[in-house]
Structures are given as structure tokens and as C-alpha cells.
Amino acid sequence: MSYVNNLKVFVRVVELGSMSAAARDRRVSPAVVSSRIGELEKHLGVRLFNRTTRKLQPTEHGAIFYKGAVKILDTIEEAEAAVADVARNPRGSIFVAAPLGIGRRLIAPLIPEFKAAYPEVDVRLRLSDRKLDVMGEGLDIAFVLGTPPDSALRMRPVFDCARVLCAAPSYLAEHGMPESGRDLVGGHHKCLLLRFPGANEFQWSLDEPDGPVRYEISGPFESDDGDVLTDWALAGCGVVNKPLFEVIEHLRSGALVEVCAATPPPPVQLACLYPHKRLQDPKIRLFIDFVTQGCKVALDALLAETADAGTRR
């Protein structure tokens, strides 16, 4: 910005006809004004002013440069005003992806609120539990569960999402209550699997007394839609590993019962991925901030209700 400041000083010297007057106008010392003019003259290789005892007059080069400088400063001012207007009144489209459960329960309900606050921004939401190619699919923002692979994308943590293993009372009545991960392996129980190309949900990690332990699990039911797994669990088909907020109502009602309560799955992080330069767009920053705050408020409310109902340890 120093060159722009030099231009601003130069223009005011020409318009006011005096370095001291320009210094007062710019609220700097006359020495600073003189230094900035000197920097411009050194950069351009020409003298910009004819100095007399009464007034400064621009040279021929100075007069030409003044016209160009005014145009440059006007363009910068217009650009800054346009950016400020976009920041105050963002517009355009945002392409967002999220996992099915989180997208349906947490993010989708926030979008009408965001649209009401910023009516000129359109949000294009895609929901999928599969692995996403953020850059290749032209996404501005992707919400992901778990640790994303290393990439050139920027990541912003949203919250740590508690997980729970649960099953329907009818399933437990027939197959018994699993108490630990060891009860889930070897075909003793039917596990409901989230599977899609590249998925690694064939292993469940549980928090044991000595730290997390991974268990190789199996079962006859699998889907790439987490809500389908919940429906199967409700139907008594097996044990499901779900984010707590997705099944909390079923736990409250007794339609599902927590299993392996002493060794639950560790929390999984919900994070927001975005290409580095996209966050410079004011509407992208606004949306991420809005959704992050909204998700935290919704999750806190759910957990508070759970604590009050005594359905969670």
C-alpha cells in the first residue's frame, strides 16, 4: 500500500499546491510528504514539481502523471467500495457438501436462516456419505466426519461429535447384550456397515481402559446411506455405530438401546474443508461462521436435553 499512499500524497500536493497543506490534509508531517514525493520521483526517474518560494507547480511530467494517478486512485476506490458492498450484501452461489445425517439434521435447517439473513446468496447443498473430491467437483465447502487425508485444502474444525453403539430391544432380546468390542467380533453379533468405495468402516474403534482398540466387525447388512443403517437398527437387524445426535431421539424413546456403554466409540471430528483462496470470498466466510455457530448451538441443545433426560452417561 506504500505506493498507493505515495500516489494519494502526490495528488493532494498537486490539488493543494503545497506540501505543508498536503501534510495537514493527510495528517502527516511535511517531512513525510517530501519523502513520499521523493520516492515517486526516484521510481519514475523524473521531476514531478517545479519548486518556487510560494507554490509548487507540477512539471509537464507531473501533470501527465497526475491524470493517471487520479484514474488509478478512482479505480482502487471503486474496487474497495465494491468489495465492501459484497461484504455487507454478499451475493452469488455457494456449493456445499455434507454427510447425509449431519446435512439433514444440522446444516440443512440452518440454510433457510442463512438465506433470510443474506437473501442474495444461493446455497447449493449436496448430501452424500461418500468420499468427496472438493476441487474436482467444484465445491466451495465440504463438511466431513473424521480426519481428512492430507491435501492442499484448508480445514476448520467445527466440533467433536460423540458416537454411540446401539441396537433395538428386539435384537438384544434375541442376541444378547454386547458388553465390549470382543463381543462384536467372530460372528457373535450382526453389525450394520456403512460401505461405499474407499470406505473403511469395516473396523470400529472403541475406547478401552488402555486406549482405543480397533475391532474387525462384519454383518449381512451394509449401505452407503447412514440413515438406512438407523432404520435397519430400529427394525432389529443389528448393532449400529452412529453419531449420538443422529439417534438421540430413539435412545430417549427406548426404540434403541446403547450397547458397549463402558467402551464407547471415541468422538469423531466434524470439520469444514475449503480451497484456500475460497475463504477470501466474504460469503464463504459468512457461511462457514454461520453454520459452525449454528451446529454448535444445536448440538449443545441436544446434549443438554440428553443430560436432563438421563439417557446418556
pLDDT digits (tens, 9 = 90+) for 44-81: 999 999 877 667 889 999 999 999 998 898 888 777 76
Using a pLDDT cut of 90, give the percent of the chain over it: 34
pLDDT band at 83 (very low <50, low <70, confident <90, very high): low
Q: What are φ and ψ of residue 283, in 5° steps?
A: -70, -30
Per-residue confidence (pLDDT) for residue 130, from 0 to 100? 76
pLDDT digits (tens, 9 = 90+) for 283-296: 888 899 999 999 88
Rounded to whole angstroms, the Cα distance separating 164 from 162 reads 7
DSSP per position, 255-312: SSEEESTTSPPPPEEEEEEE-GGGGGSHHHHHHHHHHHHHHHHHHHHHHHHHHHHT--
Mean pLDDT of the chain: 84
Pick left, alpha or beta for residue 199 (phi over 0 → left; psi -120 to 50 → alpha; otherwise beta).
beta
Cell numbers given for 167: 441396537
Burial of 202 (0-12, 13-18, 19+ CB in 10 A): middle
Predicted model pTM: 0.63
Measured at the alpha carbon of residue 196, what is the angle toward residues 194 and 197, in degrees to the nearest 5? 145
Per-residue confidence (pLDDT) for residue 187, from 0 to 100? 77
In order of their start, the domains of the chain are 2-88 (1.10.10.10), 94-159+269-309 (3.40.190.10), 163-266 (3.40.190.10)
DSSP per position, 59-98: -HHHHHHHHHHHHHHHHHHHHHHHHHHHHHS--EEEEEEE
Residue 163 has pLDDT above 70, yes or no: yes
